[in-house]
Amino acid sequence: MFSMVLVKRGEMTSDQIVALVLAIAGFIVVLIFAALFYGSSKGQDSIEACRLSVLTRATTPHAAQAAVPLACTTGKICVSKSGSSTACSQFLGEDGVISVKLDGKTDSDNARIIEKTSAEAMYQCWSMMGKGQLDLFGNAPELLVGSSGQATCVICSRVAYSDDIPLSVLSQVNLHSYLENALVPGSSGLTYLQAFTDKSINSFAGLQSAKPDSKINLNPENKKEQDLPKISGQTNGKQIAFVFSQVKPVSWERVLQNLGYAAVGSTFVISQVPGAGKVASALLFNPTGLLVTAVAGVTVAGGASWNAYEGQKAAAGYCGAFTSPNDKLKDGCSLVQAVNYNVGDINALCPGSIQGNP
- Binding site residues, other proteins, CB under 8 A: 5-12, 16, 19-20, 23-24, 27, 30, 49, 69, 71, 74, 92-95, 144-145, 155, 236, 341-343, 346-347, 350-351, 353-358
Closer residue to other proteins in complex, CB, 85/271: 85
For residues 79 and 117, is the Cβ–Cβ distance under 8 A? yes
Transcribe 131-148 into DSSP letters. Answer: TT-B--STTHHHHHTS--
76 φ, ψ (degrees, to nearest 5) = -125, 120
User: In whole angstroms, how close is the CB of 6 to other proteins at the nearest point?
Assistant: 6
Q: Is the dihedral of CA 296, 297, 303, 309 positive or negative?
A: negative
> Of how many residues is the chain composed?
358
Cα R_g (the chain), whole angstroms: 26
CB of 189 to other proteins, least distance (A): 36
By beta-carbon proximity to other proteins, the closer residue of 132 and 141 is: 141
Q: Which CB, 8 or 105, lies closer to other proteins?
A: 8
Considering the complex, what minimum distance in angstroms separates the CB of residue 5 from other proteins?
Answer: 7
| DSSP secondary structure, 91-137, as one string | GTT-S-EEEEE---SSHHHHHHHHHHHHHHHHHHHHHHTTTT-B--S
Q: Residue 197 or 235: which CB sits closer to other proteins?
A: 235
Question: Shortest distance, CB of residue 146 to other proteins, whole angstroms?
Answer: 10
Q: Toward other proteins, which CB reaches closer, 331 or 345?
A: 345
CB of 159 to other proteins, least distance (A): 15
Q: How far is the CB of 278 from other proteins (least distance, A)?
A: 25
75-80 vs 314-321, strand pairing mode: unpaired
Half-sphere exposure of 255 (CA within 13 A, CB side): 32
Would you list the DSSP string of 253-287? HHHHHHTT--SSSEEEEEE--TTSSS-EEEEEE-T
CB of 330 to other proteins, least distance (A): 23
CB closer to other proteins, 12 vs 250? 12
Closest to other proteins by CB, 13 or 188: 13
